[in-house]
Amino acid sequence: MRHNLTVLAGALAGLLATVIPSTAHACWDGYSATVGNATFTRATGAASWNGDDARYTTRWAARFDAITPAGVNLWIGNGYVSCEGHKACETLGDVGSNDPQKAFKQVAKAFGVSAKAQQEALGVQQKLYTVQVFAGAKDAALKQKKLLAELDQEEALDVGDYGDFFLAGAFPGVNERFHAIADEKDEKLVRLIIDEYPSLEAAQEAEKKLRARGVIGIVKELPRGKALDEYVSSLRA
């Protein structure tokens, strides 16, 4: 799975260098989510994983997907929009702002999306799911996280590409799948999760494969709270 993430991130960086001039670098930091036929990317300074970024990036990817015609692939990132599979793609380009609202308006205009359909799309709240494998004290959660990361280095926890729709960190690079999250109401309670998934079905399938590899977990919505001991991309070798 770590190998899959590395390859996908590298491919994504190459794609962005081709279709999004403002991120035309061999390496970049930020967040990217793909929902349906739409990919929404946010380049940042030093990046590290947190649930709020996962929710925000995925929510906007889902909103763009809701106004993307069938058979069209759409990319939005850092003030630039491009697509393939539609004659209106020629009208897309520089938005002049990193505000996804402005990119949304450009895309909606290009595809002739009605005001009602736009309003419905902007109301989309994409849920994220995960597999929780531990809940307890911080020290125990971080110890479990380290053990799982060691297993993952050996690809012992490979469950396919279910968690690859969202990427966070430095690209190309290997980005962690395991996250310790302190409960937003009780910081002494720390949950350890594996990946995030855009649908309940994808999370359930991943949970089955993890269980077959000896890792017992439960499927739930991505919990809110502060992510602990996350790698910051600028500190990576």
Instruction: Write out pLDDT tens, residues 133-160.
Output: 999 999 999 999 999 888 877 776 766 5
Q: What is the pLDDT of residue 166?
A: 77
Q: What is the pLDDT of residue 168?
A: 75
List, run by run, the mean pLDDT of 10-residue segments along the chain (237 residues). 29 37 48 91 80 92 96 93 95 91 96 97 94 96 91 70 66 74 95 92 91 92 93 62
Burial of 138 (0-12, 13-18, 19+ CB in 10 A): middle
71 vs 34, 86, 166, CA distance in Å? Answer: 15, 8, 22
Q: What is the pLDDT of residue 115?
A: 97
DSSP state letters, 8-71: HHHHHHHHHHHH-GGG-SSSEEEEEEEETTEEEEEE-SS----HHHHHHHHHHHHHHHHTSPTT
Angle at 57 between CA 227 and CA 60, to 5 degrees: 150
Q: What is the pLDDT of residue 19?
A: 36
Q: Listing from the earlier edge strand, what are the strands of the sheet with 166-171?
A: 80-84, 73-77, 38-43, 28-35, 166-171
| Cβ–Cβ under 8 Å, residues 130 and 194 | yes
Q: What is the pLDDT of residue 45?
A: 73
* Residue indicated by tokens 């359909």: 117
Q: What is the pLDDT of residue 23?
A: 28
